[in-house]
Structure 1
Amino acid sequence: MLVLPALGQAAPIPATVQPQAPPTVLVFGDSLSAAYNLEAAQGWVALTEQRIAQAHPGWRVVNASISGETTAGGASRIVAEVARVRPSVVIIELGANDGLRGLPLPDTRRNLARMIGAAQGVGAKVLLVGMRLPPNYGAAYTRGFERNFHELAALFETAFVPFLLEPIARDRSRFQSDNLHPTAQAQPALRDHVWPVLEELLD
Protein backbone atom coordinates (compact mmCIF):
# COMPACT_ATOMS: atom_id res chain seq x y z
CA MET A 1 0.00 0.00 0.00
CA LEU A 2 1.51 3.31 -1.10
CA VAL A 3 1.27 6.45 0.99
CA LEU A 4 1.58 9.84 -0.63
CA PRO A 5 3.63 12.42 1.27
CA ALA A 6 0.54 14.62 1.41
CA LEU A 7 -1.03 12.25 3.92
CA GLY A 8 1.35 13.51 6.56
CA GLN A 9 0.43 17.13 6.09
CA ALA A 10 -1.70 18.81 8.72
CA ALA A 11 -3.29 22.21 9.04
CA PRO A 12 -0.70 25.02 9.32
CA ILE A 13 0.76 25.56 12.78
CA PRO A 14 2.27 28.91 13.72
CA ALA A 15 6.05 28.91 13.37
CA THR A 16 6.32 30.37 16.86
CA VAL A 17 4.94 27.18 18.42
CA GLN A 18 7.92 25.47 20.02
CA PRO A 19 8.32 23.12 22.99
CA GLN A 20 8.18 25.14 26.18
CA ALA A 21 9.41 24.46 29.69
CA PRO A 22 8.70 22.13 31.28
CA PRO A 23 9.26 19.50 28.58
CA THR A 24 6.02 17.62 28.07
CA VAL A 25 4.88 14.19 26.96
CA LEU A 26 1.45 14.42 25.32
CA VAL A 27 -0.50 11.16 25.17
CA PHE A 28 -3.15 10.89 22.47
CA GLY A 29 -5.05 7.65 22.98
CA ASP A 30 -8.34 5.89 23.45
CA SER A 31 -9.82 4.01 26.42
CA LEU A 32 -6.68 1.89 26.75
CA SER A 33 -4.79 5.04 27.70
CA ALA A 34 -7.72 6.76 29.45
CA ALA A 35 -7.83 4.14 32.25
CA TYR A 36 -11.27 2.89 31.26
CA ASN A 37 -13.33 1.74 34.26
CA LEU A 38 -10.37 2.40 36.58
CA GLU A 39 -9.20 5.22 38.77
CA ALA A 40 -7.11 7.56 36.62
CA ALA A 41 -4.10 6.99 38.85
CA GLN A 42 -4.23 3.25 38.10
CA GLY A 43 -3.77 3.57 34.35
CA TRP A 44 -0.51 2.91 32.55
CA VAL A 45 -0.21 6.58 31.57
CA ALA A 46 -0.39 7.74 35.19
CA LEU A 47 2.06 5.04 36.21
CA THR A 48 4.39 6.21 33.44
CA GLU A 49 4.07 9.76 34.70
CA GLN A 50 5.19 8.59 38.13
CA ARG A 51 8.20 6.85 36.65
CA ILE A 52 9.12 9.90 34.58
CA ALA A 53 8.98 12.05 37.72
CA GLN A 54 11.47 9.72 39.37
CA ALA A 55 13.80 9.06 36.44
CA HIS A 56 13.55 12.37 34.57
CA PRO A 57 12.53 15.16 36.98
CA GLY A 58 11.21 18.27 35.33
CA TRP A 59 9.12 16.53 32.69
CA ARG A 60 5.33 16.56 32.80
CA VAL A 61 2.70 14.32 31.19
CA VAL A 62 -0.54 15.53 29.63
CA ASN A 63 -3.02 12.74 28.96
CA ALA A 64 -5.40 13.81 26.20
CA SER A 65 -6.83 10.31 25.74
CA ILE A 66 -10.58 9.86 25.30
CA SER A 67 -12.49 6.61 25.65
CA GLY A 68 -14.07 5.62 22.35
CA GLU A 69 -11.78 7.89 20.33
CA THR A 70 -11.10 6.98 16.70
CA THR A 71 -8.23 8.14 14.54
CA ALA A 72 -10.64 10.60 12.88
CA GLY A 73 -11.35 12.16 16.26
CA GLY A 74 -7.67 12.30 17.06
CA ALA A 75 -6.82 13.88 13.72
CA SER A 76 -9.48 16.54 14.27
CA ARG A 77 -8.07 17.48 17.69
CA ILE A 78 -4.33 17.20 17.43
CA VAL A 79 -3.41 20.49 15.75
CA ALA A 80 -5.08 22.53 18.48
CA GLU A 81 -3.73 20.25 21.17
CA VAL A 82 -0.07 20.41 20.14
CA ALA A 83 -0.38 24.18 19.77
CA ARG A 84 -1.79 24.40 23.30
CA VAL A 85 0.51 21.91 25.05
CA ARG A 86 3.69 22.42 22.98
CA PRO A 87 4.93 18.89 23.62
CA SER A 88 8.44 17.58 23.25
CA VAL A 89 7.16 14.01 22.84
CA VAL A 90 3.81 12.80 21.53
CA ILE A 91 2.57 9.25 22.14
CA ILE A 92 -0.10 8.25 19.61
CA GLU A 93 -2.12 5.24 20.76
CA LEU A 94 -5.13 5.26 18.47
CA GLY A 95 -6.66 2.91 15.93
CA ALA A 96 -8.20 0.17 18.03
CA ASN A 97 -11.69 1.61 17.75
CA ASP A 98 -11.29 2.00 14.00
CA GLY A 99 -10.46 -1.68 13.77
CA LEU A 100 -13.23 -2.86 16.07
CA ARG A 101 -15.71 -0.92 13.94
CA GLY A 102 -14.26 -2.23 10.70
CA LEU A 103 -13.53 1.26 9.38
CA PRO A 104 -11.66 1.57 6.07
CA LEU A 105 -7.94 0.97 6.47
CA PRO A 106 -6.90 3.85 4.16
CA ASP A 107 -8.86 6.27 6.35
CA THR A 108 -7.16 5.02 9.51
CA ARG A 109 -3.78 5.29 7.84
CA ARG A 110 -4.46 8.82 6.62
CA ASN A 111 -5.60 9.97 10.05
CA LEU A 112 -2.59 8.50 11.81
CA ALA A 113 -0.31 10.11 9.23
CA ARG A 114 -1.92 13.48 9.86
CA MET A 115 -1.41 13.12 13.59
CA ILE A 116 2.23 12.16 13.20
CA GLY A 117 2.76 15.03 10.79
CA ALA A 118 1.14 17.53 13.17
CA ALA A 119 3.32 16.39 16.06
CA GLN A 120 6.52 16.42 14.05
CA GLY A 121 5.50 19.77 12.62
CA VAL A 122 6.01 21.39 16.02
CA GLY A 123 9.30 19.61 16.54
CA ALA A 124 7.99 16.85 18.81
CA LYS A 125 9.35 13.33 18.77
CA VAL A 126 6.64 10.73 18.15
CA LEU A 127 6.09 7.33 19.70
CA LEU A 128 3.54 5.37 17.69
CA VAL A 129 1.85 2.59 19.67
CA GLY A 130 0.26 -0.11 17.54
CA MET A 131 -2.58 -2.53 18.05
CA ARG A 132 -3.70 -5.92 16.73
CA LEU A 133 -7.17 -7.28 16.07
CA PRO A 134 -8.67 -10.69 16.82
CA PRO A 135 -8.71 -13.07 13.84
CA ASN A 136 -12.50 -12.97 13.43
CA TYR A 137 -12.12 -9.69 11.52
CA GLY A 138 -10.64 -11.63 8.61
CA ALA A 139 -7.04 -12.25 7.63
CA ALA A 140 -6.80 -9.53 5.01
CA TYR A 141 -8.23 -6.83 7.26
CA THR A 142 -6.23 -7.79 10.36
CA ARG A 143 -2.97 -7.98 8.41
CA GLY A 144 -3.63 -4.64 6.74
CA PHE A 145 -4.58 -3.06 10.06
CA GLU A 146 -1.33 -4.13 11.70
CA ARG A 147 0.72 -3.25 8.62
CA ASN A 148 -0.51 0.35 8.78
CA PHE A 149 1.32 0.94 12.05
CA HIS A 150 4.56 -0.69 10.92
CA GLU A 151 4.68 1.19 7.63
CA LEU A 152 3.82 4.57 9.14
CA ALA A 153 6.48 4.18 11.82
CA ALA A 154 9.04 3.44 9.11
CA LEU A 155 7.81 6.20 6.78
CA PHE A 156 7.90 8.93 9.43
CA GLU A 157 10.85 7.43 11.34
CA THR A 158 9.00 7.42 14.64
CA ALA A 159 9.72 5.40 17.75
CA PHE A 160 7.46 2.37 17.72
CA VAL A 161 5.78 -0.11 20.05
CA PRO A 162 4.05 -2.59 17.71
CA PHE A 163 1.40 -3.91 20.13
CA LEU A 164 0.47 -2.19 23.39
CA LEU A 165 -1.16 -5.29 24.88
CA GLU A 166 1.68 -7.67 23.98
CA PRO A 167 2.65 -8.57 27.57
CA ILE A 168 -0.90 -9.48 28.63
CA ALA A 169 -2.70 -10.48 25.42
CA ARG A 170 -2.71 -14.21 26.13
CA ASP A 171 -3.81 -13.94 29.75
CA ARG A 172 -7.60 -13.62 30.05
CA SER A 173 -7.36 -12.93 33.77
CA ARG A 174 -5.68 -9.60 33.05
CA PHE A 175 -8.69 -8.20 31.24
CA GLN A 176 -11.93 -6.78 32.56
CA SER A 177 -15.21 -8.60 31.93
CA ASP A 178 -15.54 -7.06 28.46
CA ASN A 179 -12.35 -8.91 27.42
CA LEU A 180 -11.10 -5.68 25.83
CA HIS A 181 -9.79 -3.45 28.61
CA PRO A 182 -6.94 -4.42 30.93
CA THR A 183 -7.46 -4.62 34.67
CA ALA A 184 -5.73 -2.37 37.16
CA GLN A 185 -3.34 -5.22 37.95
CA ALA A 186 -2.27 -5.36 34.28
CA GLN A 187 -1.41 -1.66 33.98
CA PRO A 188 2.16 -1.89 35.33
CA ALA A 189 2.96 -4.44 32.62
CA LEU A 190 1.78 -1.98 29.96
CA ARG A 191 3.87 0.78 31.50
CA ASP A 192 6.93 -1.46 31.55
CA HIS A 193 6.31 -2.47 27.93
CA VAL A 194 6.23 1.11 26.67
CA TRP A 195 8.87 2.54 28.98
CA PRO A 196 12.14 1.42 27.32
CA VAL A 197 11.09 2.96 23.98
CA LEU A 198 9.70 6.11 25.56
CA GLU A 199 12.70 6.73 27.80
CA GLU A 200 14.98 6.99 24.77
CA LEU A 201 12.98 10.05 23.71
CA LEU A 202 13.32 11.86 27.05
CA ASP A 203 16.53 13.75 26.37
Structure 2
Amino acid sequence: MLRTLITIAFSALLAAPAFAAQENNFEMTPLIGYRFGGDFDVTNNSKTSNLKLIDEVSYGLLTAWKYDKFRQGEFLISHYQTNFSQHSDFIPSNDELGITYAHLGGNVAISQGLVPMYVTGGLGLTYLSPQDSQLDSETRFSMNIGLMTKLPITDNVNFQLSGRVYGTFFNSDSSIFCDQNNCLISISSDIWVQSEVNAGISIAF
Protein backbone atom coordinates (compact mmCIF):
# COMPACT_ATOMS: atom_id res chain seq x y z
CA MET A 1 0.00 0.00 0.00
CA LEU A 2 2.83 2.42 0.82
CA ARG A 3 4.30 1.79 -2.65
CA THR A 4 0.91 2.70 -4.12
CA LEU A 5 0.88 6.00 -2.20
CA ILE A 6 4.39 6.82 -3.41
CA THR A 7 3.36 6.04 -7.00
CA ILE A 8 0.37 8.39 -6.64
CA ALA A 9 2.68 11.11 -5.31
CA PHE A 10 5.05 10.88 -8.25
CA SER A 11 2.11 10.83 -10.66
CA ALA A 12 0.85 14.05 -9.09
CA LEU A 13 4.30 15.60 -9.44
CA LEU A 14 4.31 14.77 -13.14
CA ALA A 15 0.74 15.92 -13.77
CA ALA A 16 0.64 19.08 -11.67
CA PRO A 17 2.63 21.33 -14.07
CA ALA A 18 -0.15 20.85 -16.61
CA PHE A 19 -2.56 22.47 -14.15
CA ALA A 20 -0.18 25.37 -13.65
CA ALA A 21 -0.86 26.45 -17.26
CA GLN A 22 1.53 29.00 -18.71
CA GLU A 23 2.27 30.92 -15.52
CA ASN A 24 4.65 28.19 -14.37
CA ASN A 25 3.31 28.51 -10.84
CA PHE A 26 4.02 25.07 -9.44
CA GLU A 27 5.31 24.63 -5.87
CA MET A 28 7.05 21.86 -3.98
CA THR A 29 7.39 22.01 -0.19
CA PRO A 30 9.31 19.41 1.84
CA LEU A 31 7.80 19.44 5.34
CA ILE A 32 8.92 18.60 8.83
CA GLY A 33 6.43 18.70 11.66
CA TYR A 34 5.10 17.24 14.87
CA ARG A 35 2.01 15.04 15.08
CA PHE A 36 -0.01 14.34 18.19
CA GLY A 37 -3.26 12.78 19.33
CA GLY A 38 -4.92 9.57 18.20
CA ASP A 39 -6.19 7.51 21.13
CA PHE A 40 -7.57 3.99 20.81
CA ASP A 41 -9.69 1.82 23.07
CA VAL A 42 -8.42 -1.53 24.33
CA THR A 43 -10.92 -4.22 25.30
CA ASN A 44 -9.94 -7.11 27.57
CA ASN A 45 -12.41 -9.36 29.36
CA SER A 46 -15.25 -6.88 28.70
CA LYS A 47 -13.15 -4.12 30.26
CA THR A 48 -12.37 -1.07 28.08
CA SER A 49 -9.42 1.25 28.69
CA ASN A 50 -7.50 3.91 26.76
CA LEU A 51 -4.39 3.38 24.63
CA LYS A 52 -2.42 6.41 23.45
CA LEU A 53 0.07 6.94 20.64
CA ILE A 54 3.36 8.66 21.43
CA ASP A 55 3.67 12.15 19.88
CA GLU A 56 6.47 12.16 17.29
CA VAL A 57 8.15 14.13 14.48
CA SER A 58 6.48 13.82 11.06
CA TYR A 59 7.80 14.25 7.52
CA GLY A 60 5.93 15.12 4.37
CA LEU A 61 5.82 16.57 0.89
CA LEU A 62 3.26 19.13 -0.30
CA THR A 63 2.90 19.83 -4.02
CA ALA A 64 0.71 22.71 -5.17
CA TRP A 65 -0.36 24.23 -8.48
CA LYS A 66 -2.22 27.44 -9.32
CA TYR A 67 -5.98 27.14 -9.82
CA ASP A 68 -6.81 30.85 -9.98
CA LYS A 69 -5.58 34.11 -8.42
CA PHE A 70 -6.52 33.14 -4.87
CA ARG A 71 -6.58 29.32 -4.94
CA GLN A 72 -4.19 26.42 -5.41
CA GLY A 73 -4.67 22.70 -5.84
CA GLU A 74 -2.64 20.52 -3.45
CA PHE A 75 -1.42 16.98 -3.06
CA LEU A 76 -0.11 16.12 0.43
CA ILE A 77 1.73 13.10 1.77
CA SER A 78 2.58 13.15 5.48
CA HIS A 79 4.10 10.25 7.44
CA TYR A 80 5.31 9.54 10.93
CA GLN A 81 6.52 6.53 12.88
CA THR A 82 5.20 6.23 16.41
CA ASN A 83 4.75 3.69 19.20
CA PHE A 84 1.85 2.50 21.28
CA SER A 85 2.13 3.71 24.87
CA GLN A 86 2.78 1.01 27.43
CA HIS A 87 -0.45 -0.77 28.31
CA SER A 88 -0.87 -3.98 30.27
CA ASP A 89 -3.82 -5.12 28.13
CA PHE A 90 -2.05 -4.63 24.78
CA ILE A 91 1.60 -5.68 24.51
CA PRO A 92 2.53 -6.63 20.92
CA SER A 93 6.01 -8.00 20.25
CA ASN A 94 6.72 -4.84 18.19
CA ASP A 95 4.85 -1.71 19.30
CA GLU A 96 5.85 0.53 16.35
CA LEU A 97 3.14 1.98 14.13
CA GLY A 98 3.49 3.96 10.90
CA ILE A 99 0.68 6.34 9.86
CA THR A 100 0.63 7.93 6.41
CA TYR A 101 -1.88 10.43 5.02
CA ALA A 102 -2.25 10.92 1.24
CA HIS A 103 -4.71 13.72 0.42
CA LEU A 104 -5.76 15.64 -2.68
CA GLY A 105 -7.22 19.08 -2.01
CA GLY A 106 -6.35 22.75 -2.14
CA ASN A 107 -6.03 26.07 -0.38
CA VAL A 108 -7.72 29.46 -0.62
CA ALA A 109 -6.38 32.83 0.53
CA ILE A 110 -8.39 34.50 3.29
CA SER A 111 -6.06 37.48 3.91
CA GLN A 112 -3.28 39.14 1.92
CA GLY A 113 -1.69 41.32 4.58
CA LEU A 114 1.85 41.30 5.95
CA VAL A 115 1.24 37.72 7.11
CA PRO A 116 -0.99 36.13 4.45
CA MET A 117 -3.29 33.36 5.63
CA TYR A 118 -4.82 30.43 3.76
CA VAL A 119 -7.44 27.83 4.59
CA THR A 120 -6.27 24.44 3.39
CA GLY A 121 -7.83 21.00 3.23
CA GLY A 122 -8.16 17.75 1.35
CA LEU A 123 -9.61 14.27 1.04
CA GLY A 124 -7.85 10.95 0.62
CA LEU A 125 -6.58 7.91 2.49
CA THR A 126 -5.01 7.03 5.81
CA TYR A 127 -2.65 4.04 5.86
CA LEU A 128 -1.99 2.58 9.33
CA SER A 129 0.82 0.03 9.35
CA PRO A 130 1.74 -1.75 12.60
CA GLN A 131 5.19 -3.32 12.54
CA ASP A 132 4.07 -6.40 14.47
CA SER A 133 3.74 -9.10 11.80
CA GLN A 134 0.68 -10.58 13.51
CA LEU A 135 -1.33 -7.34 13.27
CA ASP A 136 -3.08 -6.34 10.05
CA SER A 137 -2.56 -3.00 8.31
CA GLU A 138 -5.56 -0.72 7.75
CA THR A 139 -6.49 1.69 4.93
CA ARG A 140 -9.34 4.15 5.55
CA PHE A 141 -10.83 7.25 3.93
CA SER A 142 -9.88 10.51 5.62
CA MET A 143 -9.84 14.29 5.35
CA ASN A 144 -7.86 17.25 6.69
CA ILE A 145 -8.48 20.93 7.30
CA GLY A 146 -6.10 23.61 8.51
CA LEU A 147 -4.53 27.05 8.32
CA MET A 148 -1.33 27.99 6.51
CA THR A 149 0.87 31.02 6.00
CA LYS A 150 3.67 31.70 3.51
CA LEU A 151 6.39 34.22 4.29
CA PRO A 152 8.46 35.30 1.25
CA ILE A 153 12.21 34.78 1.27
CA THR A 154 12.87 35.48 -2.43
CA ASP A 155 10.61 35.81 -5.49
CA ASN A 156 10.17 32.04 -5.78
CA VAL A 157 11.04 30.80 -2.27
CA ASN A 158 8.72 31.00 0.75
CA PHE A 159 8.89 29.84 4.35
CA GLN A 160 5.67 27.95 5.06
CA LEU A 161 3.98 27.27 8.39
CA SER A 162 0.78 25.27 8.77
CA GLY A 163 -1.42 23.44 11.23
CA ARG A 164 -3.83 20.67 10.23
CA VAL A 165 -6.41 18.43 11.82
CA TYR A 166 -6.83 14.96 10.28
CA GLY A 167 -10.04 12.98 10.57
CA THR A 168 -10.09 9.28 9.59
CA PHE A 169 -13.49 7.69 9.05
CA PHE A 170 -14.50 4.55 10.95
CA ASN A 171 -17.82 3.00 11.76
CA SER A 172 -18.65 3.38 15.45
CA ASP A 173 -17.25 0.52 17.52
CA SER A 174 -14.99 -0.64 14.66
CA SER A 175 -12.19 -3.07 15.51
CA ILE A 176 -8.74 -2.65 13.93
CA PHE A 177 -5.25 -4.16 14.05
CA CYS A 178 -6.61 -7.67 14.46
CA ASP A 179 -4.12 -10.43 15.17
CA GLN A 180 -4.53 -14.07 14.20
CA ASN A 181 -7.00 -14.69 17.02
CA ASN A 182 -8.94 -11.56 17.87
CA CYS A 183 -9.21 -7.75 17.76
CA LEU A 184 -8.06 -5.95 20.89
CA ILE A 185 -8.12 -2.34 19.62
CA SER A 186 -11.31 -0.49 18.76
CA ILE A 187 -12.53 2.93 17.68
CA SER A 188 -15.47 4.23 19.72
CA SER A 189 -16.48 7.09 17.37
CA ASP A 190 -17.07 7.67 13.67
CA ILE A 191 -13.99 9.91 13.22
CA TRP A 192 -10.50 9.23 14.59
CA VAL A 193 -8.61 12.52 15.00
CA GLN A 194 -4.96 13.57 14.92
CA SER A 195 -3.37 17.03 14.72
CA GLU A 196 -0.13 18.21 13.14
CA VAL A 197 1.98 21.37 12.86
CA ASN A 198 4.43 21.71 9.95
CA ALA A 199 7.17 23.95 8.64
CA GLY A 200 8.83 23.86 5.24
CA ILE A 201 10.49 25.74 2.41
CA SER A 202 8.28 26.22 -0.69
CA ILE A 203 10.07 26.46 -4.03
CA ALA A 204 8.04 27.75 -7.00
CA PHE A 205 8.86 26.73 -10.57
Using the size of structure 1 for normalisation, the TM-score is: 0.29
Which structure is larger by alpha-carbon Rg, 1 or 2? 2
Larger helix fraction of residues: 1
Larger strand fraction of residues: 2
Higher RCO, Cα 8 Å, sep 6+: 1
Using the size of structure 2 for normalisation, the TM-score is: 0.29
